[in-house]
């Protein structure tokens, strides 16, 4: 398009052109100087126009020599905005737009096409792609990168895809390779998906994995800042597993949390062993009566209201057990863990090993001795009288206590 002030100098355009007609063709190499008549100038005017009416003929051709001297660039055809090469579309005004190179085509042609014969690279703007026979705004093919987009600042986008009709902004398709790949050589992200109201990244497959991740650290990482949602969610509507974890040498599924490492809402089935490496006893939460401070290792008995209290008499048949968690023995399983409206709750060891407060003042305690409640509050003692011990035994001592009060490990065995 020619739309410049009358005071601007003549524009020199140097082209090697081929003029063709329906009756034949002839090549003419000439220097063209174009300047429309100022008094008769129209808005859409061309300095150089090439037209071809015969198949396989070229209206305008530009050739650049393959070897350029140092510091120089050989250009076959160059178009600059406002003075470039264009073919106007009938009925479509382009006033006010500076176009370097503008090409149009109808049918199976392309608007603008570029080919590098040495590198076997080809691309075009506006046409039908030769692979899938689909309409393409931009198409590129090469032995290496078909299309490359490069952004030069932190807020730019190398390649941008947009869809306003429910389609795909960016789509990759392959039979055996990788359809879309993102790669980062530093601390950035290979692929990032963001969405305001939908899915940031979605993958689907009819017969294989919808999304697959491989990494030197985490293959797939999910993060959420919501208090009611999950970082990673797995859903299966076909009867299979929602989330599955496997490892050939390590742990299939690992969970860590400041509150809970895992939570199951429903039945749990285990085909192998359950190994509790962080606890020594099985305990159950009970309501504790009174306001006195109760320490782990304290011997507890049942009260008339069902809550537990410290023992205060010898051979008490109301004995319930020992508060779990003293020293380095922690409960492996805690049953009945729930909030209480009227009192505090603490775990009572029902079976297994637990540290227990013991009083050996009246009778030394040896390993293997049966223990019962004592007059010393919250302490056990050796059950020296078998006739009184029935129904009041707490368990067996695992270590001796020669005298005084102390904390010894015992094996819970209520009887």
pTM of the model: 0.53
Q: E strands within 250-298?
A: 281-288
Q: Which helix (H) or strand (E) holds 371?
A: strand 370-373
Mean pLDDT of the chain: 78
Bigger pLDDT: 388 or 186?
Answer: 388
Other Cβ atoms closer than 10 A to 191: 10
> How is residue 75 written in tokens?
């250009």
State pLDDT tens for residues 304-346: 988 999 999 999 999 999 999 999 999 999 998 887 666 789 9
Reduced to 3 states, what is the DSSP secondary structure of residue 233?
Answer: coil
State pLDDT tens for residues 7-60: 443 443 333 333 333 344 344 444 444 444 444 444 445 556 666 666 666 666
Q: Which of 60-69, 129-138, 149-158, 248-257 is the most confident on average?
A: 248-257
Give the lowest-confidence range in 61-70, 103-112, 300-309: 61-70
Contact 310, 300 (CB under 8 A): yes
Q: Which of 13-27, 150-164, 281-295, 388-402 is the most confident on average?
A: 388-402
Q: Tell me what pLDDT residue 229 has.
A: 87
Residue environment code for 88-112, b if the CB has 16+ CB neighbours within 10 A, otherwise e: beeeeeeeeeebebbbebeeeebbb
Domain with CATH 2.40.300.10 in the chain: 281-412
Contact 101, 86 (CB under 8 A): yes
Question: 281-412: which CATH architecture?
Answer: Beta Barrel (2.40)
CA pair distance 380, 405, nearest whole angstrom: 9
């Amino acid at each position: 398009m020619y739309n410049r002030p009358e005071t601007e100098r003549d524009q020199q355009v140097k082209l090697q052109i081929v003029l063709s007609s329906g009756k034949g063709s002839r090549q003419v190499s000439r220097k063209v100087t174009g300047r429309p008549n100022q008094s008769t100038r129209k808005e859409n005017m061309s300095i150089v126009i090439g037209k071809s009416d015969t198949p396989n003929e070229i209206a305008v051709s530009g050739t650049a020599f393959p070897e350029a001297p140092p510091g120089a660039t050989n250009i076959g055809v160059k178009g600059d905005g406002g003075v470039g090469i264009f073919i106007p579309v009938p009925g479509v005004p382009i006033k006010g737009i500076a176009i370097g190179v503008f090409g149009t085509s109808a049918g199976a042609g392309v608007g603008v096409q570029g080919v590098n014969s040495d590198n076997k690279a080809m691309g075009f703007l506006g046409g039908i792609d030769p692979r899938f026979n689909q309409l393409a705004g931009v198409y590129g093919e090469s032995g290496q990168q078909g299309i490359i987009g490069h952004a030069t600042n932190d807020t730019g986008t190398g390649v941008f895809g947009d869809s306003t009709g429910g389609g795909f902004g960016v789509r990759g398709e392959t039979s055996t390779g990788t359809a879309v790949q993102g790669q980062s050589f530093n601390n950035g992200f290979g692929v990032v998906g963001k969405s305001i109201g939908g899915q940031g990244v979605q993958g689907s497959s009819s017969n294989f994995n919808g999304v697959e991740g491989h990494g030197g650290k985490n293959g797939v990482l999910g993060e959420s800042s919501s208090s009611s949602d999950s970082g990673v969610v797995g859903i299966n509507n076909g009867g299979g597993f929602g989330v599955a974890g496997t490892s050939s040498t390590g742990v299939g599924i690992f969970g860590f949390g400041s509150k809970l490492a895992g939570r199951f809402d429903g039945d749990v089935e285990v085909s192998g062993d359950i190994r509790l490496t962080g606890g020594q006893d099985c305990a159950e939460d009970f309501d504790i009566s009174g306001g006195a401070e109760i320490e782990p290792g304290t011997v507890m008995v049942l009260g008339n209201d069902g809550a537990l209290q410290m023992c205060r008499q010898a051979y008490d048949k109301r004995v319930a057990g020992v508060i779990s968690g003293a020293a380095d023995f922690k409960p492996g399983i805690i049953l009945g863990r729930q909030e209480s409206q009227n009192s505090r709750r603490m775990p009572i060891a029902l079976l297994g090993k637990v540290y227990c407060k013991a009083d050996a003042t009246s009778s030394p305690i040896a390993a293997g001795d049966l223990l019962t409640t004592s007059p010393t509050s919250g302490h056990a003692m050796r059950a020296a009288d078998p006739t009184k011990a029935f129904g009041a035994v707490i368990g067996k001592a695992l270590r001796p206590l020669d005298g005084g009060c102390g904390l010894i490990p015992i094996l819970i065995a209520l009887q």
